[in-house]
Chain A
Amino acid sequence: MFRALMIAGLALFLPGACALGYSVFQGPSSWMTDAHTFWGTPISLFVFWIGLAHAGTLLSAVFLALDIRLDRRTALIAELSTLVSLAIAAVFPLMHLGVIENFYMVAPLLDARGNIANVRSPLVWDFCCIAVYAVLSLLFFATHLKARSYPALDMFRKPMAWLLFPLVLWVHTVVSLDFAATFVPEWRGAFFPVYFIAGAIFSGLALVNLLLCTEGYRVRLLERLQLICSWILCAIWIWDYMLKGSFCTSAFVFAGVLPQFRMVSAIRENKWGRVAISLSILLGLFLERQFLVSPEFGSPASSSLGWVDWGLLAFSAGAFVLLFWGIQYSLKRFMEVDGSYFGEVDGSDMAEVEEAELRDSPVVYGVEKSKKGFYVHPWSSEEYYVLRLPLLVGFAVTIAFMFWAIERLPFENVEFSLAHVVPLLYPLIALVAVIVLYARAYFVQKVFALHRLEKIVAAALLVLAGACAGTFYAGGSSEGSADARKSASEFGDLDLVGAAWNARCATCHGTDGKFNEKFVREFYPVPQKLDLQRVDSLGVDSLVNVVLNGRGNMNPYAGRLTYDEARALVNYMRSLAVRDSAVAASAAGKQEVANDSTP
């Protein structure tokens, strides 16, 4: 089985890697891009894989937190699928950026790139939240594996699950805000957070059920949940249709209609039937994400998926197969268990074994716990005692961070409200709480020991985190390149001002002064055009003030531009507006002449 999977993985991965290489070389023109939103296949794949990445840990953590029994092997498979999906999801935003070597620009490193990170952008929240989620999921998985050698570590899994439960919902909600906080009509949806979570859980359940099929057993509870999720998602799609009139028929068929065949016992009881249903759901949800990201997808006006798009999909699927089973194979001895699996196992009497185990086990789960008179007084559960101090430290650090951040120069001149910063709060609290939790377990309680390799990995992670924190704190260098400084000192020359414009302003405003809409749309609601009439109505002095001190979506550049330089840039912007106005007037004149000459 392992060999067959590896061959299948390679068969998908190798042609997919060629498509990936070609698309990196060729850029966004090689894949399907929506003419309206400027987003395309890489973002669809990112959202698809990040959805899958959220479901594995979510299932494992939620079940653990809510006392629903899930056997160790199934939980480990779900958790590993999360980590592998996260690694694959990380590839696609890099491709979408187009300039892969500048990937760090997505990170909120304050002024490190001479262009202050927009803390009000969902993309920046996204980066922070997913990074925290990845670290915590890795720790959750590692704790689960290591608990076999150090059983005392098991007491940290449930508190971790309670931290991960909201985090995973939070993170996928923030992913949904990438869409919901924009002005694209098809993405208007204050219900997107729920919609995205429902889609993620549904796709994650399909993936976990598919993986369990390859392992040779099934968990009926997860299959039932999968069917229930399909009903709820169909209801959400119908609401979306009522609201906006948009509907993705292919997603509805693959992920809404076909999964209902699970009600047919002949299909449900057949392994290949279950595989087909899971694959159908995954395909349907990929098509749905494609439709969401590119609202014109499927319409006659839109381009269809080309070989590069299918190649990218094959690359991601192949990479998942290779990575997942590769890692699982190397961790085999840690993942295998002697105990029974939860939920009737195919063709064996394991269910009876499980019942006997449950009867004799001193540990009670869920409803059984309450039946035995189990009652926890408010604020007195074991998890609460374990998490009390770490959470307190997490809250304290987050509050201190907030005060520090608001005092920082980049923020003090920018309109900055609670709504802009709320999405970052919980991930920060969770990260600090987990660091404190594990530091206490290792140094104070001495619950576990680390092997040499683990120590090296932990030290490397800490150094990396320290470097990120240091860069964040120091803010990097605002000094421009030698050429930029030269151009700044010789601002009388219009060409040099133009070069400075292209270096400093064109990212958002465009080289022609008419906005780089693709970029601006991704980060902000698109502001008003700065045409000649508007520039003149605002006045040069006022605009110089905006350049230096910032306003609305414009970041402040005081300290990096002198007053004269800012003034020269405003004059340059006005010259672009004059040129644009002249072109528009000329075009209007020609149109008038043409109309007059028409009989």
Chain B
Amino acid sequence: MTPLLNAFACLLALGCALFLWREKSSPYRNGALLAGFLLLFGVFTYFGAADSLVTDPSLEHYPFRMLALCLCFSTTSLPLYRRRYLVLAQVLWLWIELFGGIALYYRGFDVAWTRIAAIAGLALGSTFLSRISREMEFCLMVLWLAVWVFF
């Protein structure tokens, strides 16, 4: 995956997040969207990675990482229980990165400890957030983007 496509993946996740948890949307709509996004991210990874899908095992959980990032973005627009779900979405991302990394570690790849530590730090920091302002939402999104692109 080239750095440009990696950055585009991030934007794609951000774009998809707009459609989740709309007011008065049914669980079916949100469930179908989640499954559809996962499929979309899978197709994106498949075509974006081209031949490196076989040679680069770190792409095995790439669509799931995109989905976790998408969920993180989507929680900023929740009307209720925002802090709780914001933390849970980041923990999901952390979990995918950590255990995906451990699975790869056994096949000779290094665990991305910096990325994991950054997400863990963000998740822990988010638990201290009180009422989340628009500025803080923006700040969080920038931090997630930075973790995705730079780590």
Q: Give chain A's interface residues, CB within 8 Å of chain B.
A: 66, 166, 169, 173, 176-177, 180-183, 188-194, 224-225, 227-228, 231-232, 234-236, 238-239, 242-243, 367, 370, 377-379, 417-419, 422-423, 525
Q: Which of B36, B38, B58, B103 contacts A192 (CB 8 A)?
A: B103
Q: Chain A: interface secondary structure?
A: helix
A189 to B96, CA, bound (A): 12
- Report the Cα distance A419→B46, complex, angstroms: 28
Cα-based distance from A419 to B98 in the complex (angstroms): 9
Contact A243 B60 (CB under 8 A): yes
Residue of A166, A169, A190, A231 near B35 (CB, 8 A) is A231
Q: Residues of B contacting A378 with CB < 8 Å?
A: 83, 127-130
Q: Is B144 an interface residue (CB 8 A)?
A: no
Instruction: Tell me how many residues of B have a C-beta within 8 Å of chain A.
Output: 42
Q: Which residues of B contact A525 (CB under 8 A)?
A: 106-107
CB of B64 within 8 Å of the partner chain: yes
- Chain B: minimal CB distance from A363 (Å): 17
The contact of B38 among A188, A239, A377, by CB within 8 Å, is A239
Query: B39 near A190 (CB under 8 angstroms)?
Result: no
Across-interface contacts of A422 in B (CB, < 8 A)? 98, 102
Among B34, B80, B100, point to the contact of A191 (Cβ < 8 A): B100
Residues of B within 8 A of A177 (CB): 99, 102-103
A-B contact pairs, 16 of them (CB 8 A): A169-B95, A188-B57, A188-B107, A189-B61, A190-B103, A191-B100, A193-B96, A193-B99, A193-B100, A228-B32, A235-B39, A242-B43, A243-B53, A370-B80, A378-B128, A419-B111
Task: Give the Cβ gap from A124 to chain B, nearest Cβ, in Å.
Answer: 14
Nearest-neighbour CB distance to chain B for A162, whole angstroms, equals 11
- Which residues of B lie under 8 Å from residue A239 when comparing CB positions? 38-39, 42, 63
Dominant SS among interface residues on chain B: helix
Interface string of B65-91 (1 = CB under 8 A from A): 000000000000000110110000001
Interface flag for B31 (CB, 8 Å): yes
The answer for the CA separation of A62 and B5 in the assembled complex, in Å, is 36
Asked whether any CB of chain A lies closer than 8 Å to the CB of B3, the reply is: no
Residues B81 and A370 in contact, CB atoms below 8 Å apart: yes
Given contacts A232-B38, A239-B42, A378-B83, contact A191 B61 (CB under 8 A): yes
Nearest-Cβ distance from residue B34 to partner chain A, whole angstroms: 6
Most buried by B among A188, A225, A232, A377: A232
Residues B101 and A419 in contact, CB atoms below 8 Å apart: yes
Give the residues in chain A near B28, CB-CB below 8 Å.
Answer: 224, 227-228
Bound Cα distance A189, B63 (Å): 12
Q: Provide the bound-state CA to CA distance between A173 and B91, in Å.
A: 14
With contacts A378-B83, A423-B102 taken as known, whether A242 is within 8 angstroms of B42 at the C-beta atoms is yes
Q: List, in ascending order, chain A residues with CB within 8 A of B103's CB.
A: 176-177, 180-181, 189-190, 192-193
